[in-house]
Amino acid sequence: MIPTNELRTAIREVEAEITEAESDLAKVIGALASLPRAEKVRVSQVVEEAFARLRTAHTRLDDLERRLGEGSPPET
């Protein structure tokens, strides 16, 4: 089993990566406005699906961190 502190650190690192990826995807979605319609439809669908998956993963990580906090003794 992974020590609690290492698990917390790993969760925070993944959350930071997800947050950065969400930010990058949001920028791409904003840039799609200038693309021709046919290209925009193809690309935007893939990007929006990826963005939704990232948000779901972020929510799951938040839940894991909350559960970890509930089940662990306070750090000293």
Task: Determine the distance from the C-alpha atom of residue 25 to the mean position of all C-alpha atoms in its chain, rounded to a whole number.
Answer: 11
The domain tally of the chain equals 1
Q: Is residue 76 part of a domain?
A: no
Q: Is residue 38 part of a domain?
A: yes
Residue 72 has, within 13 A of its CA and on its CB side, a CA count of 16
Q: Is residue 52 part of a domain?
A: yes
* b/e code 32-43 from CB counts within 10 Å (16+ = b): eeeeeeeeeeee
Q: Is residue 11 part of a domain?
A: yes
Q: Is residue 10 part of a domain?
A: yes
Domain that holds residue 36: 4-71
Q: Is residue 19 part of a domain?
A: yes
Q: What is the reported pTM?
A: 0.61
Q: Is residue 59 part of a domain?
A: yes
- Give per-residue pLDDT as tens, 28-74: 878 777 878 777 777 777 777 888 888 888 888 888 888 787 766 55
